[in-house]
């Protein structure tokens, strides 16, 4: 794998992780309180960027600890391609802008049975998959997936790719994206 694709993966992973933690909120300025930072009053609570921290005694020291993060549900439908851009038998990876900022990768495939849309992130460790021959392949550790269902054809991944609803109308391909 090239250095640039590794770099892109690492920065994408950090962005995805931030997105997950913040529920898609823009990150903004660094929080004044972070998990593990010292605090003064046991039991005191503070909320920063949607994350609530509680001052706890950990091994004799008072430090901020974050409470479990609630991941917000995200569902939206977007026109991801013009119908003419997706030939029979072809696959395209589209970076779809989300309503809360940033983009999310969607793999769109047209076959005889219709159009399938899958999340681009490999279920092993999140590296983006790409069409290689007749399968979707993850370059990082070699997992393979079936492009019309997302089913695992070869590990180390054990879970199928996340599947989205896809429709075709008015000359466009629409995908309903959800974060689970
Ligand atoms: S991240 Fe895809 S196989 Fe490991």
User: Which DSSP string corresponds to 4-65?
Assistant: HHHHHHHHHHHHHHHHHHHTT----SPPS--TT-B-SSTT-EEEETTEEEEEEEETTEEEEE
Q: What is the pLDDT of residue 137?
A: 96
How far is residue 19's CA from residue 103's CA, in Å, rounded to a whole number? 10
Residue 124 beta carbon below 6 angstroms from any ligand 1 atom: yes
Q: Is the pLDDT reported for residue 103 higher than 90?
A: no
Mutate which of 141, 150, 158, 162 for ligand 1? The one with the most ligand atoms within 8 Å of its CB, which is 141
Quick one: CATH architecture of 75-178? 3-layer Sandwich (2.102)
| C-alpha 121 to ligand 1 mean position (Å) | 9
Per the listing, tokens 């609630």 go with 70
Nearest CA to ligand 1 atom 4: 141
The secondary element (H helix, E strand) that includes residue 179 is: none
- Asked if residue 39 has its Cβ within 6 Å of ligand 1, the reply is no
Q: Give start-end residues of each CATH 2.102.10.10 domain in the chain.
A: 75-178
Q: How far apart are CA 178 and CA 169, in angstroms?
A: 20
- Residue 162: predicted pLDDT: 95
**What is the average per-residue pLDDT within 21-37?**
53
Q: What's the gap between Cα 97 and its chain centre?
A: 12
Indicate whether residue 159 lines ligand 1 (CB < 6 A): no
In this predicted structure, the answer to whether residue 41 has a pLDDT above a threshold of 50 is: yes
pLDDT at 109: 96
User: What is the per-residue pLDDT for 124?
Assistant: 94
């Amino acid at each position: 794998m090239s250095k640039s694709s590794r770099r892109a993966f690492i920065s994408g992973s950090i962005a995805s992780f931030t997105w997950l933690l913040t529920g898609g909120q823009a990150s903004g300025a660094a929080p004044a309180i972070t998990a593990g930072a010292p605090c003064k009053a046991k039991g005191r609570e503070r909320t920063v960027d949607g994350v609530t921290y509680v001052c706890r005694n950990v091994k004799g020291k008072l430090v901020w600890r974050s409470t479990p993060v609630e991941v917000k549900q995200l569902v939206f439908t977007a026109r991801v391609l013009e119908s003419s851009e997706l030939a029979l038998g072809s696959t395209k990876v589209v970076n779809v802008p989300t309503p809360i900022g940033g983009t999310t990768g969607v793999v769109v495939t047209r076959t005889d049975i219709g159009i399938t849309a899958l999340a681009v992130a490999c279920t092993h460790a999140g590296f983006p998959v790409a069409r290689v021959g007749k399968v979707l392949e993850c370059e990082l550790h070699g997992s393979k997936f079936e492009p019309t269902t997302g089913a695992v054809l070869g590990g180390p991944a054990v879970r199928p790719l996340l599947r989205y609803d896809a429709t075709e109308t008015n000359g466009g391909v629409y995908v309903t994206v959800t974060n689970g």
